Amino acid sequence: MLLTLAWGSLFFPGLFALCTWGLRRARPEWTDYDCVMISTRVVSSAQAVFATGSGIAIIRSCKNVVTDRHWLAQEYVWFLIPYMVYDIYAMYLCDWYRIKEQNRRHSLIIFRNFLSKNRLMITHHVAILLVLVPIAQRFRGELGDFFVGCIFTAELSTPFVSLGKILIQLKKQHTLLYKVNGILTLTTFFSCRILLFLFMYWSYAQQKDISLFQVPFRIPVFCNVANAFLIAPQLYWFSLLCKKAVGLFDTPPAEKDG
């Protein structure tokens, strides 16, 4: 546990610092905000790859979705804790550089604006640390590694979201790559962050040989509550992605006529 926490505490900030240093040397014309923002997205994508890989390994090894165990189901959570702490700081750092380049507002004002602007994401991260981590590591006992693996695979959409942000920052949002990436973002987000919950309920139904509609009444109430808590922000973020996608493919009339 302690060794995994230490590795996570070194890896994520270290990768961020290395990326930022490399971008500043490779692209001296970029602003500090450009380098920091892109580095943040690279680290997020790296974490997503690790999480998705861990999740797939867990899912493939757990034939019994309730009782089978896999060491990654607990070990990767310890690796994830430092990332959640780092990511909150990285989000603030991006805001700090962005606003500092626009004006010289006081750091306290920047911090208050950061809390206001990112309250949903911060709440999401804090809830994972204070609620989901204790559930995953202690309260569930030795049951449900399969479902922990499923939750890990929700990160599959993150690299595509990150690439979209990077392309916007580089003013490449009118390229074919950006449009293809937008389609992949919507597809992976919907599959791995929304349909994922249906898949977990279906897997339990198959294991217990019951109807899918019986599952919510056969599992503990806190499981339904936890799933509702997890899927609610995903539905909100997916609605935002859909709005962006509509704008992406909605060509202005003047361009259509031309």
Residue spans of the domains in the chain: they are: 2-247
Residue 180: which residues within 8 A CB-CB, separation 6 or more? none
Q: Take residue 18 and report the two structure tokens written for it.
A: 């290395």
Per-residue pLDDT in tens (0 to 9) along the chain, 258 residues: 889 999 999 999 999 999 999 999 999 999 999 999 999 999 999 999 999 999 999 999 999 999 999 999 999 999 999 999 999 999 988 888 888 766 666 677 777 788 888 888 888 888 888 888 888 888 788 888 999 999 999 999 999 999 999 999 888 988 999 999 999 999 999 999 999 999 999 999 999 999 999 999 999 898 898 889 889 889 998 998 888 877 766 655 444 443
Rg of the chain, C-alpha, whole Å: 20
Q: Can you tell me the distance from the alpha carbon of 143 to that of 162, in angstroms, rounded to the nearest whole number?
A: 33
**In whole angstroms, what is the distance from residue 205 CA to residue 55 CA?**
20
